Structure 1
Amino acid sequence: MKKRITAFVTACAAVFGLCSCSLKERDMVEEEKKLPVPPKLVFLGDSIAAGYGLEGYDKSDLYHCNSYANIIGSDYTSALADEKCGFIMKNDAVSGDTSQDLIDLLDSGDIDEDLKDSNAVVVSIGGNDILHIIFSAAEDLGWDKEAGDFDFDRINFKDALSSLTSMSDEIDDALKGYETNLTVIEQKIRDRTDGEIYIQTLYNPVEYFSDWKMLVDYADGKIDTFNKIVKDGAEKDGKHHYTVIDVGSRFEGQNADLTNMSDYDIHPNAEGHKVIAEMVDAELRKGDYSYTVTVPGEAHWTSAAKGLFVGIAAVAVILVIGVVIFVMKKKQR
């Protein structure tokens, strides 16, 4: 009997040795994988976001100039190169667009697919609502395009002050319209994505006209009002609406160096785009991003293995009973 038990145990060990791998399995399970940057990013707005004025800029293809959108797109493509989710960047900015134009674009449905499932939307809009008014006044008040400076000999400062005063109502109306439109823009984007929305403030390119303090101070006041609208709208009625990227404050005192104003072009130059890229990147990296992957779960016994265990256990019980009976009969002899 001892030999039989030993043989049974040896046989069980052999079976387990041969079948242990096939007796376990791993179910595929979903796992959330954290990411350092958003896997789908959309840029909206005007010529600042489009990269107007940069080498390689093409209004029909915004992906070949060194704009802040493309700088970030390149960096994030590398950052997520080893991730199965990959990286998608869409730039739907349109040079010359006002805040109303962006509302119209959102209403058209043309960018719904781009916004769908996006993790972040970065918006630069509103400069065209007010800056053209200020620069129109600058030309009326003596700006000489050829010389790149003011011709003070032909400026009547009394007329200049009167012109600025009359222009003020026009800009104030534009600012009220922008405030209304910004709320609409935020809601229309929110209707199309659960991703975080980022709104940029506006820098003051008129700062370049340092020789004419009256105009610079006037523009500062209006652009400060513009930026206050942006900042006040971020947290309103006890609710978070968007995150502010304060480009205006970062450019302050450096507009001559960070824009193309020396060529009478208000747009950021290559260095300006690098600065904006750094600011946008810093805010985006504060976000919480992830995607779902399917991976093998923990190993567990198969149903066949469980059946085998039951069978072995049953045979073992039978053997034990047999041993007990054998021993009892032997004692009776």
Structure 2
Amino acid sequence: MKITKRNLALITVLIIVCYSVFSLFSVSAEVAPQPLCLSVLGDSIASGYGLENIEDSYSVLIAKEKRYNLSNCAVPGHTTGDLLRVVCNEEVAREGIAKADLVIISIGGNDIIRVLQYADTNTLLSILSNGVNAPVIKEAAAKAKEQLLFSCMEIRDLNPDVPIILQSLYNPLYANNTYKAFAPTAE
């Protein structure tokens, strides 16, 4: 069969028509973007405990504002030891961390509160006199720091590139000068 200009033109038109028809039925390569995921871990501050409406918690507000899917595994009363247990053992938290585009942690206050809760009179007087320099506070802070470090290492194992925001704590012993005023009395 001899290919003439007419046959070549006919084949070209046929290819263009077929391509046009098939492209009408093709599936778009564009996929809707997946929403980002936010994983929140920690204690009562992170859980929204005490708020009249849980929808006012900072984790829910951030998720709504940024359109994140939210995984909030924070529990009122948790310490850094509890956080370590959660990130190492609780599957729901581990799945949330693994999928997260951002992790926020608010923890540590209960580590210090527990020291105060179980302190004897001499320990309380030492805390009132020395504040954050009291040996029992320094020990609790060192232990909390170590457990928080191990928690962050576990988070990195689950999701190596996720940004981790550690929410800082205010120093309740220096929030105002009330305790400083008692220091001379305690001595």
* TM-score of the superposed pair, with normalisation by structure 2: 0.71
Establish whether residue 19 from structure 1 lines up as the match of residue 1 from structure 2: no
Deviation of the 1:207 alpha carbon:
5.1
Identity rate, percent: 30
Check the 8 A contact 1:206/1:216 in 2, yes or no. Answer: no
* TM-score of the superposed pair, with normalisation by structure 1: 0.43
Residue of structure 1 aligned with 2:42, choices 42, 45, 52: 45
The superposition leaves residues 70-125 of structure 1 with CA deviations (integer Å, 9 ceiling, x where unpaired) of 00111122xxxxxxxxx421000011100001112223233222222322211111
Q: Corresponding residue for 2:112? A: 130
Deviation of the 1:136 alpha carbon:
8.7
Q: Corresponding residue for 1:74? A: 64
User: Would you tell me which structure has more helix in proportion to its own residues?
Assistant: 2
Higher RCO (CA 8 Å, separation ≥ 6 residues): 1
Q: Corresponding residue for 2:150? A: 184
Q: Corresponding residue for 2:86? A: 105
Residue of structure 2 aligned with 1:10, choices 3, 6, 9: 6
Check the 8 A contact 1:207/1:216 in 2, yes or no. Answer: no
Structure 1 stretches lacking a partner, 5+ long: 57-63, 78-86, 141-159, 218-333
After TM superposition, the structure 1 stretch with the greater mean CA deviation from structure 2, 108-117 or 186-195, is 108-117
The superposition leaves residues 266-312 of structure 1 with CA deviations (integer Å, 9 ceiling, x where unpaired) of xxxxxxxxxxxxxxxxxxxxxxxxxxxxxxxxxxxxxxxxxxxxxxx
Question: Aligned runs of 1:291-310 on 2, under 5 Å?
Answer: none
Deviation of the 1:197 alpha carbon:
1.9
After TM superposition, the structure 1 stretch with the greater mean CA deviation from structure 2, 103-112 or 17-26, is 17-26
Any idea what SS the aligned residue of 2:18 has?
A: coil
Any idea what SS the aligned residue of 1:20 has?
A: helix
User: Would you tell me which structure has more strand in proportion to its own residues?
Assistant: 1
Structure 2 stretches lacking a partner, 5+ long: none
Seen in structure 2, the aligned counterparts of structure 1 residues 33 and 206 have a Cα distance that, compared at 3 Å, is farther
The superposition leaves residues 22-52 of structure 1 with CA deviations (integer Å, 9 ceiling, x where unpaired) of 25888989889999xx712100011111112
Supply the RMSD in Å over aligned alpha carbons.
3.9
Deviation of the 1:183 alpha carbon:
1.5
Any idea what SS the aligned residue of 1:198 has?
A: strand
Check the 8 A contact 1:42/1:121 in 2, yes or no. Answer: yes
Seen in structure 2, the aligned counterparts of structure 1 residues 170 and 208 have a Cα distance that, compared at 3 Å, is closer
The number of aligned residues is 172
Seen in structure 2, the aligned counterparts of structure 1 residues 205 and 161 have a Cα distance that, compared at 3 Å, is closer
In 1: Cα distance, 2:126 partner to 2:71 partner: 45
Seen in structure 2, the aligned counterparts of structure 1 residues 215 and 11 have a Cα distance that, compared at 3 Å, is farther
Any idea what SS the aligned residue of 1:21 has?
A: helix
